[in-house]
Amino acid sequence: MIRKTLTVPKTARYFCSAEPSAAFTEVVFVCHGYAQLASEFINEFNVIATDSRLVIAPEGLHRFYHKGGADKVVASWMTKEDREDDIRDYISWLDMAAADVLLRCRPDVKVTVLGFSQGAATATRWITLGMTNIDHLILWCGFFPPDMREDFSIAETQLTVVTASNDRFISSEEEQRQLTIIKARHATYKHIRFNGQHVIDAGTLSELFNADFHKSH
């Protein structure tokens, strides 16, 4: 068998809390987790969307029926099949989405990227391999991807890691192991641990975006 690949045009979508404009001083790109839709995920961030903060939710390029059959439609960023191609595709897509948004914003707008669960690995790959300049990376219930190369650095980017006390996907031991890895790569990161499960916790989210450490960067 001989394998061939072609790059084809594809229509992708992202959702906005408001129309992008120069009125915003911060843009927050939020990358959803596995088996979620951006149109629903963006609603988790209503608590931080303001007249000066714009929230953008790009959607993974792979949509499918959850649990098989004609069930709810969801999306993901990639699978283990042809993973390098998927990674290149979504990094290109996220750069395109960001450029489309930021072209309509002020030149000095602050750019934050929040990745939830599978979206944490997506967000990390994007800011290390993509062309978009990011000021603040937030990894929420997720960590650096295992394939993040040693020669890629996010030292110039503010980093916040948010974990849950009762995360059914991440044990306490795994959390500590991953935090050790992150500390070795980014010694000045901020860690927040909330009481809850593998979700976007509204109270923690609101506190994070209103905290002095976020405002000062």
Q: How far apart are alpha carbons 142 and 160 in whole angstroms? A: 11
pLDDT at 154: 78
pLDDT at 44: 98
Q: What is the pLDDT of residues 55-72, one digit of tens each?
A: 999 999 999 998 776 789
Parse the chain into domains and list their residue ranges: 14-153
Strands 26-31 and 14-16: unpaired
Q: What is the pLDDT of residues 16-48, one digit of tens each?
A: 999 999 999 999 999 999 999 999 999 999 999
- Give the pLDDT mean for 103-128: 97
Instruction: Categorize the per-residue pLDDT at 130 as very low, low, confident or very high, splitting at 50, 70 and 90.
Output: very high
Q: How far apart are alpha carbons 35 and 77 in whole angstroms? A: 9
Strands 53-58 and 14-16: antiparallel
Q: What is the pLDDT of residues 183-195, one digit of tens each?
A: 988 878 999 999 9
Angle (deg, nearest 10), helices 118-129 and 83-102:
70
Strands 62-65 and 53-58: unpaired
- Whether the per-residue pLDDT at 96 is higher than 70: the answer is yes
pLDDT at 214: 61
- Whether the per-residue pLDDT at 12 is higher than 70: the answer is yes
- Give the pLDDT mean for 143-147: 92
**CATH of 14-153 among 3.40.50.1820, 3.40.50.720, 3.90.1560.10, 3.30.460.10:** 3.40.50.1820
pLDDT at 66: 85
> Bridge partners of 84?
none
Residue 90, token pair as written in the block: 């979504």
